[in-house]
Structure 1
Amino acid sequence: MVKQTSFEHLRTELKNITNNLEEVISSSADKSKFEVNKLRNKAKHVLDSSLDRIDQSSAYIAKTTRETIKKADNYLHKNPWQGTGMGIVIGFILGILIIRR
């Protein structure tokens, strides 16, 4: 799988689906039944392949998220005081941001 950010990949796929469906909708009134079926088949093929790629992307996102969480968990088990310090700093920053509003 090409290394592309997941957000960009999903955005590209959804844009591709939208463009093909718009083509089917806009041109179905002017075409014969054969051409409409051809456009529908094309749209279905694009939709199926896009959904497959979206499934692959979501599986990749889930896998990398699990790996990152596992690394963070291992780090915090090995360095509990540093984890506590990070939690305090993050809480302090969030507290300041909330008070400013």
Structure 2
Amino acid sequence: MNAAGIAKEKEQLLDDVRQVLASTEELIDATADDGSQQSRELRKRLADKLSVAKVRLIDAEQAVVGKAKEAAKATDQYVHENPWKSIGIAAGVGFLLGMLVSRR
């Protein structure tokens, strides 16, 4: 799998985690009326773990964004240092994609 595919997978995973966290918050809010001691303890533990998960998610998002920026800078630097190579590579990739699309 290439770097773009991995980045897309990471972003999808982060989106999935965000949805799970949001659903968990909704569940905690929905069960707030249940007054049993066991339910209150469970909601408290769940809320604590939810806040830890949110912090970790924010850290993971920052790491993904940081790596994406590094990759963009490296690509930009390569293109500036090797403009003709970059044009040649882009033309080659475009040619190959055009051949693949025209066969279908």
Change beyond 3 A, Cα 1:93–1:47: farther
TM-score (structure 2 length as normaliser): 0.65
Structure-1 separation of matches of 2:100 and 2:54: 40
Count the aligned residue pairs: 84
Gaps of 5+ in 2: 1-6
**Match of 1:90?**
93
- Match of 2:60, SS state, is helix
- Same amino acid, percent of matched pairs: 26
1:58 is the counterpart of 2:65:
no
The one-letter code matched in structure 2 to 1:38 is E
1:69 is the counterpart of 2:72:
yes
Gaps of 5+ in 1: none
**Structure 1 ranges of 4+ moved more than 4 A:** none
CA RMSD of aligned residues (A): 2.9
Structure-2 separation of matches of 1:49 and 1:94: 45
1:78 is the counterpart of 2:92:
no
